[in-house]
Amino acid sequence: MSDTEFLDRVDFAARTGNDPHRVKAAETFRAHGWPTRADEAWHYTDLKASLRSFDLTLPGQGAPDVGGMIPRTAMPKVIFVNGRFDESLSDSSRFVRRFDDHASARADGTRPLVSLNTAVANDGIRIDVPGGTDGGTLFLVSVTDTPCQDMLAPFHRIAVGAAGSLTVIEVVRGAGRYMHNVVTEIALAEGAVLRHYRLQDESIDAVNVTTALVDLREDARYEAFTLNYGAKLSRYEAHVTLSGPNAAVHLNAAQLLAGTQHGDITTVVAHRAPHCASRQTVKSVLAGSARGVFQGRIEVAQWAQKTDGYQMNQALLLSPDAEIDSKPELEIFADDVKCSHGATIGAIDPEQMFYLRSRGIPEAEARAMLIRAFLDEALEPVTDDEARSIFEAAIDVWWQKGVL
């Protein structure tokens, strides 16, 4: 389906009520179109090829059956079913309310999927934690069980006031054939802390594109970990701006991909103030004919002196047919900085395997031990016990699928 055909078939009057922000976003997307490999930021990920057999204008139908996809927890939960907030399943905290579409205009010609989300967003939430308040832990769960080829486009906004704190555990699961185009806007005031842990466990027939737009003020801290685990094609794109001095961000991620899965993690960390620090550790474990992508960019403005930026990408290939594309970038205009990046790609060390096998450890168990050790560094920032148990369970299931 071409860009024009797609837009012409979307009933914007029904979806938007002719909201001017959405109309502007639709015009922006129409002018740019779907991103293609000719776009530098999408050079390694062919989104259009994955969407050729989709009719993204068809709505989901039928009664969803999602009970088994929702984590069992006593923590407050915000549940989205087929892209829409489900109040009957949710047990949300006092900091959560339904999103107001008129609060933000997000059309952006440089990020067409953000414009598309703005144009057709079907629901979303706002999480507002007042200054000086500990918001505790909140589960944000999106589950999909739709028999139609639909595009789900939720928009979320998370704001933490000065010296406030919050932990968000985001779980995305699904069954069926659909596209999930999620945009999350995050604003952290002076001294605020957000811990954001995310598991992407979509249907193997689905496409997931998630964009996080993060702004940190003075002394704010953003700690994030993403595990890309499901979906036929997934792309997690994080744009983080350190706009106040002494702000810090940790962007860690891991990908466990097999078969013909394609996983893309793209980050842009913009240092716009002095004395800020950024850390990125992204690890991929690829089996079968899976393909992983990491594009990481650190930008340092001229006035962002004393910047400390670090970026590491490592890939473990379990098959000769697996592939990883790694593209680290540094753009530095300041002269008093400490910035570094690195990348390693390899297979399981045969000497380490021999050592474990010689001590009576079965081959599959030995491989699992080595892979788990490889992932431990990326998991280090996950200090929340519930979040860590979710990631560990997902890794265990991956072993059980016979990947090893």
Q: Report, as ranges of residue numbers, the positions in the chain whose pLDDT lies below 70.
A: 1-18, 57-67, 100-109, 147-149, 400-404
Q: CA distances (Å), 368 to each of 18, 87, 373, in order?
A: 53, 40, 9
Domain ranges of the chain: 3-403
Q: How far apart are the first and last CA of the chain?
A: 38
Which pLDDT tens digit goes with each residue over 292-351? 999 999 999 999 999 999 999 999 999 999 999 999 999 999 999 999 999 999 999 989
pLDDT at 56: 72
pLDDT at 361: 92
Q: Tell me which residue of 69, 93, 91, 92 sits closest to 81, measured CA to CA.
A: 69
SS3 227: strand
pLDDT at 381: 80
Q: Indicate the pTM of the whole model.
A: 0.92
Cβ-contact 271, 241 below 8 angstroms: no
Residue 181 β-bridge partners:
209
pLDDT at 102: 44
Residue 355 β-bridge partners:
none
Which pLDDT tens digit goes with each residue over 152-205? 889 999 999 999 999 999 999 988 888 999 999 999 999 999 999 999 999 999
Determine the Cα–Cα distance for residues 129 and 158; give it in Å rounded to an integer: 8
Q: Find the angle CA(279)-CA(280)-CA(281) to the nearest 5 degrees.
A: 125
pLDDT at 206: 92
Q: Please give the helix or strand (H or E) that residue 161 lies within, else none.
A: none
pLDDT at 402: 57
Tokens describing residue 397: 């299931």
pLDDT at 375: 86
pLDDT at 232: 95
Determine the Cα–Cα distance for residues 69 and 60; give it in Å rounded to an integer: 18
